[in-house]
A and B are shown apart, each in its own frame.
Chain A
Amino acid sequence: MAGSVQAATLDDVISRGHVQCGVTSGLPGFSQPDENGDWTGIDVDTCRAVAAAVFGSADKAQFTPLTAKERFTALQSGEIDVLSRNTTWTLTRDASLGLNFTGVNYYDGQGFLVSKSLGVDDAEQLDGATICIQAGTTTELNLADYFRTKGMTFNPLVFDTSEQTVSGFAAGRCDVLTSDRSQLAALRSKLEDPSSAITLPNIISKEPLGPVVRQGDDQWFNIVKWALFVQINAEELGVTQANVAEMKSSTNPEIQRLLGTTGDMGEKLGVPADFGFRIIQTVGNYGEMYDRNVGPDTPLGLDRGLNALWNNGGIMYAPPVR
């Protein structure tokens, strides 16, 4: 009866035949269904990489859209295997929810979107402003901290979903919309006239976003963690979706271990030996995943910034596959 620790998630996933991923209900660039109903986005691809590691195919991932409020309960209750939903890694979430963050797939920070007509160009001029926020996010806490330390007042208007937050802002009910800067770009693109709003230069918080799994299943924790690390290492080693087949015959021992042509890296994790090859073949490396979903050529147009590799001016860094 009570007290039995949940069975190995990997066994459940294999017997079910797919990985169940929790994603946002619609955030351009991170997770959103396209016109064919297929999910796209960097959070979606992060979870697809896990499916590729386990099953050898990125198609073996299914998606559950969740609101910010529902997400942790869905993971705790076992409704999903991986939460890949724009979720900020904080101490409280890591330590008291029975969950573990496996890594960071996007380094973000909180910013402000304001209407151009307001004539504001710095967050320090926002004293007394009414601010639209989405419920259940670290954003609410950062905002209160920021205004308190600056000795300013504000009126928080807390909406349930990001769509409602945007409509509140679009209708002029609030002066400012605050969220992670990556989201501001996405939400701004939803406005009727995106050029009517500007993003302020201030970044008021650290928002490392990453996948989350249940605590107490170290094997599954490792698989999800290394699925992302493999993508980051692949970019560093120059292995791409296009060249991964020929890279299989590479003489570079690091690439050989990454793609599973030598060593038993997959076996140690409990997944097929060529899991690295499968991830890159079906999802691509981290840089490709970034460019495809949120990069400069997408509607979001986000520069790599902090999310560039560590040897390229950013802080994306993965432990070696060894």
Chain B
Amino acid sequence: MNESNMTLSNGARPKPWNNPKIRMFVFQTLALGTVFWFGWTLFHNTLSNMESRGISTGFGFLDETAGFGIIMTLIPYDSTMTYGRTFFVGLLNTLLVSAMGVVAATIIGFVVGIARLSSNWLIAKLALVYIETIRNIPLLLQIFFWYFAVLQTLPSPRQSLDVADMFFLSNRGLYFPTASAEPGFGWVMAALIAGIAAAVFVHRWAKRRQLRTGQLFPALRVGTLLILALPLLMFMLVGRPLIWEMPSLTGFNFTGGASILPELAALWIALSLYTASFIAEIVRSGILAVDRGQTEAASALGLKSSFTLRLVIIPQAMRVIIPPLTSQYLNLVKNSSLATAIAYPDLVSVFMGTTLNQTGQAVEVVAITMAVYLTISLIISGLMNIYNRAVALQER
């Protein structure tokens, strides 16, 4: 017998059902077992019920020919391809509008959130009106507003507004020229990479110099200039190795060039503005969470107010901002499924809509679609958690 057992009240070993470790193990096993049993029963029941009703099951349908058209595809697609291909077409369209939405919502959200705290009365009130209007109207209505009320009032293709015969705006979308590279374009790309490398170098050098001497150097402006000017110079030097394809009106529509669909634009605008109004409030709360003493200390040290915001307030505010920001990103991705209401061919519209209907494989298609949204959300969540750890308060 060892020391610890001796300390029990009467010296006897506890009964197994009183042993906390055993109890914990038994209860957790039971709970886990019940969950698995429930899941398996659900799965098995569904399968056997579908079989007894003569509903075909399985994922074989993914290899069948789809036979329908899709208006916007980021990968080559035509109606002779498979249902599996329609899945990727829809998925990429969902990812495209989500990514565009996240970027725009973040930028607008931060700008409005900071404007909301501006000492300028007009700017602060404008931001307030924006936030309170946009976030209190259902998103679906906003999507309809942008789609039917704004974009559809644009002229028909034959009366489209054009800028320099290169950009055409009509209710079929914004058409713009596309460029294809000719031999020699590699040099321009090389110059671009060199420009980026030079900008990074300048940035590091400026930082070191500032640490050493305290003098500032406009690294951002010089870097931007390098990244833009080097490739442009090379482009002129090697004789403009690009062929432009202009959109032109033939028959009903424009051909040539590329276009942004009104559906994509409406969805993007609505998702961005809606999510931005929530992000703005998150940003405001994050900034307000930073103690006022921090601002006062910074100005006591003689820091410019733009520096105070960028170097003192925002880094500390980020700790408060990141977790709720993550859920806004997740909301945006999930809300993008409202696309189906305005005919934007996202995953829900193409795959869970048309493909589901033509094949009738409801259970499989819905399961795949749910798995996709779950995966996207978990990935975003994971990335944001990594970032959160990076900006979190470092315990020293």
Contact = CB atoms under 8 A, between A and B. Distances in A.
Interface of A: 1-6, 68-69, 72-73, 76, 92-93, 96-98, 118, 126-130, 132, 135-137, 140-141, 143-145, 147-148, 154-160, 164, 167-168, 171-173, 175, 214-216
B69 A69 contact: no
A69 B152 contact: no
A5 B44 CA distance: 15
Determine which residue in B54, B350, B356 has the highest number of CB atoms from chain A within 10 A of its CB, and name it: B54
Contacts of B52: 3-5, 216
B54 A135 contact: no
B45 interface: yes
B45 A2 contact: yes
B233 to A, nearest CB: 40
Nearest to B361: A96
Contact of A76 (B55, B253, B263): B55
A10 to B, nearest CB: 17
Contacts of B148: 167, 171
Interface in B66-82: 67-71, 79-80
Nearest to B350: A158
A129 B53 contact: no
A168 B147 CA distance: 10
Contacts of A132: 343
Contacts of B156: 172
Given A128-B252, A158-B71, A216-B54, 6 more contacts: A2-B49, A69-B353, A127-B251, A128-B255, A144-B79, A155-B253
A158 B171 contact: no
Interface of B: 44-45, 48-56, 67-71, 79-80, 148, 152, 156, 171-172, 250-253, 255, 262-263, 340-343, 345, 349-350, 353-354, 356-360, 362
Contact of B343 (A96, A143, A147, A168): A168
A51 to B, nearest CB: 24
B353 A155 contact: no
Contact of B69 (A6, A143, A159, A164): A143
B68 A173 contact: no
A158 B345 contact: yes
B48 A98 contact: no
Contacts, number: 131
B335 to A, nearest CB: 16
A148 B79 contact: yes
Given A3-B48, A97-B55, A171-B171, A136 B353 contact: yes
Contacts of B356: 69, 136
A128 B49 contact: no
Contact of A96 (B45, B55, B251, B342): B55
Contacts of B350: 158
A135 B354 contact: yes
B357 to A, nearest CB: 3
Contacts of B353: 69, 135-136, 158, 160
A143 B354 CA distance: 13
Given A128-B251, A128-B255, A135 B70 contact: no
Contact of A140 (B68, B172, B340): B68
A158 B53 contact: no
B343 A159 contact: yes
Nearest to A120: B252
Contacts of B44: 2
Contacts of B340: 135, 160
Contacts of A164: 341-343
A164 B349 CA distance: 14
Of the listed residues A132, A136, A216, the one surrounded by the most CB atoms of chain B closer than 10 A to its CB is: A136
Contacts of B67: 141, 144-145
B360 A93 contact: yes
Contact of B70 (A2, A69, A156): A156
B152 A137 contact: no
A230 to B, nearest CB: 27
A224 to B, nearest CB: 17
Nearest to A148: B79
A96 B360 contact: yes
A6 B343 CA distance: 38
B357 A128 contact: no
